Structure 1
Amino acid sequence: MCQKLCGNDSNYDGEPGEAGSSRRRFLAAGASALGAAAAFSTPAAAMGRAEHEDDMPHGTGAPHRRYILRGGAVLSMDPNVGDFAQGDVLVQGKKIIAVGPHLHAPGAEIIDATGTIVMPGFVDTHHHQYQTALRSFLSDGLLANDGLPHGAKNYLDTIHFTLTPVFRPRDAFLAILASSLSQLDAGVTTVVDTSQVGHTPEHTDAVIHGLQESGRRALFVYSPGAGPGNIFPNDLDRIQSQYFSSTDQLLTLAMGGEVFDPAWRDTWAIGRQHGLPIVTHLVGSIGQGTLIEQIESEGLMGPDLEFIHASAISEASWQAIADSGANVSIAAPIEMTMRHGMPPIQAALDHGVQPALSTDVECTMTADFFTQMRTVFTLQRALINERALSGETDLPELLTCRDVIRLATVEGARVAGLSHKVGTLTPGKEADILLLRADAINVAPLNNVPGAVVTLMDRSNVDTVIVAGSIRKWRGKLVGVNFGRLRAGLEASRDYLLDAAGVERVLF
């Protein structure tokens, strides 16, 4: 995990994938540009425990390590488990052992959860994490130059075609690590990483190592990049055997099969031959509105597909998605601000499709899940309320706060293919758990648990974050992270990227 990144380059000897590996293949060239290129966190042995870690339990996540989260308001998201105004969660190793009130667990260390909401970690089903050094660079931009007003400043021209091709492996590594840690800090314990920066095998390795070092759960979407070194998808066998040979790890693998690529059919076939889920963008406002109908006519629809956005698509397309069991990921704030089309939350629900939520690109919008949940909650209710005010009476149900949390946890885990591991606080599942402060000034007094999470909280309420039983954030601070060094690396990476692409940074 991230604590392996020590404050000297000697920890970077060896080939990627080996125990204690460096990142030599992709950090060696020009590492001085980032100073000590790998020095983004410092282990406790080197710097002493931070003050906020003084009372933190040691060795969490180890096979026989037992602890109990005691006395919080438990929102399990599992109807068979239930919720508890004051409940406990018993964890051993990386698994949840029991959930309920007044659990008896002799020998288990007690973690006081009083004043917190204890719930599953959030799941982000679509995030281009490699763009972290470009945060807010395109805050006012649209998706594409679609020939309509305002399209000159757009994502495809600026980020995808101009800046992405100049990324080096170490730029990708830094961005992936920083974004992963930032989302952990905000309670997003799982990500579907759609980092479309696989220019070379070294770039792909860099992304995977960034995910590994962060210590959080991820579905890595193997994707093409740009430039002469791009060998996608011919590197699939290597990365699958090198990094994904075990199913008992935090990282799993998916195939990026973008339908705007003329070779998408071949890519899908390769992914399916390898038993991988397939992830693709689908945006009707840029000419893909009826593409699902074609895919269905060729017999290629299936439950192994994740369609990102699915905005402005046809009625027949929605029916095909529903009939096939295909999955949908909605990034509502991005879709509204970048002109993807109206986020299809109601279209999905009308067809019995339960969408997951996602953050998309930090060059335009924040990647915290309180923003995602609140946006979907207010949007769906605004649309239905407006219909009611217009005189309609046969209306869909309004989303509740619990519904939205379910999209952010249960449905996210399902779309990522990880329902058997995470998404609910269920005995036998892995312990991806949040403690959210409900006694903070922006929430207290606590009157409704789902309502507090969706309508009141923000990332400042994320007190403790646990991934596979291991504490990654404790009492409001990430564990073992030297953010000063990481920030300096990101700033140097940003400066390089803009200079290499000939793009000006306009601070105001």
Structure 2
Amino acid sequence: MSRLLIRGGHVVTMDPALGDVDGDVLVVDGRIAEIGPGLPADDAEIVDATGTVVLPGFVDTHRHTYQSLVRGLLPSCTLGEFMSTIFNSVAPAYTPELMRLGNYVGALDALDAGITTMVDWSPSETPDHADGAIEGLRQAGIRAMYAHGMPAGGQWWYRSELDHPADARRIRAEHFPSDDGLLTMALALRQPGNVVDEVAVRDWGLSRELDVRVSVHTAMRSGGATGHPVRTLHRLGLLGENTTFIHCTTTADDEIAMIADSGGTVSIAPYVELVMGHGLPRITAMLAHGVAPTLSVDTVTTSPGDMFTQVRMALALGRAEALPEDPEAPFTPALTHRDVLRLATVDGARACGLGDRTGSLTPGKAADIVLVRTDSIRTLPLRDPAATVVTSADRADVDTVLVAGEIRKRGGALAGVDLPRLRAEATAAHEDILSRAGLTSRATGEKETNS
């Protein structure tokens, strides 16, 4: 039996029955056993939490993890430019080994920032690419939902008549024979419009055959994803609690109500949606219908890889939606810092189908725990631990990260990672991908031209 005692922290449980506690968290065999002040150490390993906020790990509900190897490639692009560059050049340049390395680097990036659970929205050019992506997640030791996607070619994305790759059945059988491990499976499907209705029916049918969740990009200003696909899915009888809808910036109110009635969930990526022009996140409308807009990084080609950025963007945007047109009218926003912290933890876990396993510090749940320092110049002095996390801290303040009780970061450094070697591998891979893709400028992602 393994025992670990996190001692003397400001514990933000995100469990309404427990609230905040100044005290300790006891972890036994990878699960939270007890929370309270002055817990006996007995034979437990001690993690000194003095001067930290102890909270559940963040949950990132949508990330194209493999793109870590082209970080910063498109810092100020439009959605159309992103899709053209990634679909036509970057994604086809990845080998299975590059998929493994990209997912390994991307998952470590998430862990370093206090993200303990993520949804990896992953293309699969071949079965070997899928195997590589899964291996990268496994090597990093993160809790992840691997969302199996399709190749990047246009024939898969524009009124496509191609069904989701049948290799999903092999992946379910070989890699995910049960749902009890750190890694679970979903299908990364395409919305109606990207596929014809008959394909949507068969693809959602595949998700039910395999008993896995669905993650789907839906209703954005551009990029071939406009229209009202939720209405179509409702008409086809495909809505359900197993589906997470991504972005939804042009989703109509009646469609949000349909998602709510079906028990479905939503993932937004506020930073990317504003930079690329997906549209404004509909935070207030979703919350009014009882749908929690969970938070995601999306892609580090454009966005920072941490959730501190996303919770701040969500808080600012959600409150800005309450600004009245009349400048003399009172400003009465409802969204608070604790609300967005919930979106990034409890609600995110539910959107992954893992609400009974992670998302809050609750006895019986997995010990997915983050310690954020409150004694840096960025975070001192401490008044409200939750406010410090949401408004002041950043990844440099993430001191310790545990996933299922295993320490993945301690003392501000990733555990068991040879960073100089990994840096060299990632840099070489970056150059290899750019060469294969015919891209020469790191700053703009523009293709090489002859003049």
TM range (shorter): over 0.9
Unaligned runs of 5+ in 1: 1-63, 145-153
Q: Secondary structure at the match of 2:290?
A: coil
**Which deviations, in whole Å up to 9, do the C-alpha atoms of 1:230-280 show, x marking residues without a partner?**
995211222112111133210000011111233232111111111111110
For the pair 1:71 / 2:3, whether they are aligned, the reply is no
Equivalences for residues 449-460 of structure 1 within 5 A: 449-460=385-396
Tell me by how many angstroms 1:226 deviates. 4.2
In structure 1, C-alpha distance between the alignment counterparts of 2:252 and 2:126, rounded to whole Å: 37
State the TM-score, normalizing by the size of structure 1. Answer: 0.82
For the pair 1:163 / 2:90, whether they are aligned, the reply is yes
> Is the Cα contact below 8 Å between 1:289 and 1:314 reproduced in 2?
no
In structure 1, C-alpha distance between the alignment counterparts of 2:281 and 2:201, rounded to whole Å: 27
In structure 1, C-alpha distance between the alignment counterparts of 2:246 and 2:443, rounded to whole Å: 31
Counterpart of 2:322, as a letter, is I
Counterpart of 1:159, as a letter, is I
In structure 2, C-alpha distance between the alignment counterparts of 1:344 and 1:385, rounded to whole Å: 14
Tell me by how many angstroms 1:106 deviates. 2.2
> Is the Cα contact below 8 Å between 1:174 and 1:486 reproduced in 2?
no
Flag the 1:114–1:123 CA change in 2: closer, same or farther, 3 A: same
Alignment identity in percent?
A: 42
In structure 2, C-alpha distance between the alignment counterparts of 1:322 and 1:237, rounded to whole Å: 29
> Is the Cα contact below 8 Å between 1:76 and 1:426 reproduced in 2?
yes
Flag the 1:388–1:219 CA change in 2: closer, same or farther, 3 A: farther
Flag the 1:75–1:423 CA change in 2: closer, same or farther, 3 A: same
In the other structure, the counterpart of 2:334 is 398
In the other structure, the counterpart of 1:301 is 239
Tell me by how many angstroms 1:507 deviates. 4.1
For the pair 1:432 / 2:368, whether they are aligned, the reply is yes
In structure 2, C-alpha distance between the alignment counterparts of 1:372 and 1:497, rounded to whole Å: 28
Q: Secondary structure at the match of 1:334?
A: helix
In structure 2, C-alpha distance between the alignment counterparts of 1:402 and 1:306, rounded to whole Å: 22
RMSD: 1.9
Equivalences for residues 137-216 of structure 1 within 5 A: 137-144=73-80, 154-196=81-123, 198-216=124-142
Flag the 1:176–1:107 CA change in 2: closer, same or farther, 3 A: same
Equivalences for residues 76-91 of structure 1 within 5 A: 76-84=13-21, 86-91=22-27
Counterpart of 1:261, as a letter, is V
In the other structure, the counterpart of 1:124 is 60
In the other structure, the counterpart of 2:195 is 261
In structure 1, C-alpha distance between the alignment counterparts of 2:443 and 2:300, rounded to whole Å: 16
In structure 1, C-alpha distance between the alignment counterparts of 2:380 and 2:330, rounded to whole Å: 38
**Which deviations, in whole Å up to 9, do the C-alpha atoms of 1:18-59 show, x marking residues without a partner?**
xxxxxxxxxxxxxxxxxxxxxxxxxxxxxxxxxxxxxxxxxx
In the other structure, the counterpart of 2:168 is 236
Moved more, 187-196 or 295-304: 295-304
In the other structure, the counterpart of 1:223 is 149
Counterpart of 2:229, as a letter, is L
Q: Secondary structure at the match of 1:285?
A: coil
In the other structure, the counterpart of 2:448 is none
Tell me by how many angstroms 1:294 deviates. 1.6
Flag the 1:311–1:91 CA change in 2: closer, same or farther, 3 A: same
For the pair 1:355 / 2:281, whether they are aligned, the reply is no
Counterpart of 1:301, as a letter, is L
In structure 2, C-alpha distance between the alignment counterparts of 1:401 and 1:247, rounded to whole Å: 33
Moved more, 167-176 or 206-215: 167-176
Equivalences for residues 412-427 of structure 1 within 5 A: 412-427=348-363
**Which deviations, in whole Å up to 9, do the C-alpha atoms of 1:314-341 show, x marking residues without a partner?**
2221121111111100100100111101
State the TM-score, normalizing by the size of structure 2. Answer: 0.92
For the pair 1:92 / 2:24, whether they are aligned, the reply is no
For the pair 1:493 / 2:429, whether they are aligned, the reply is yes
For the pair 1:478 / 2:436, whether they are aligned, the reply is no
In structure 2, C-alpha distance between the alignment counterparts of 1:390 and 1:142, rounded to whole Å: 35
In structure 2, C-alpha distance between the alignment counterparts of 1:223 and 1:207, rounded to whole Å: 11
Counterpart of 2:140, as a letter, is S
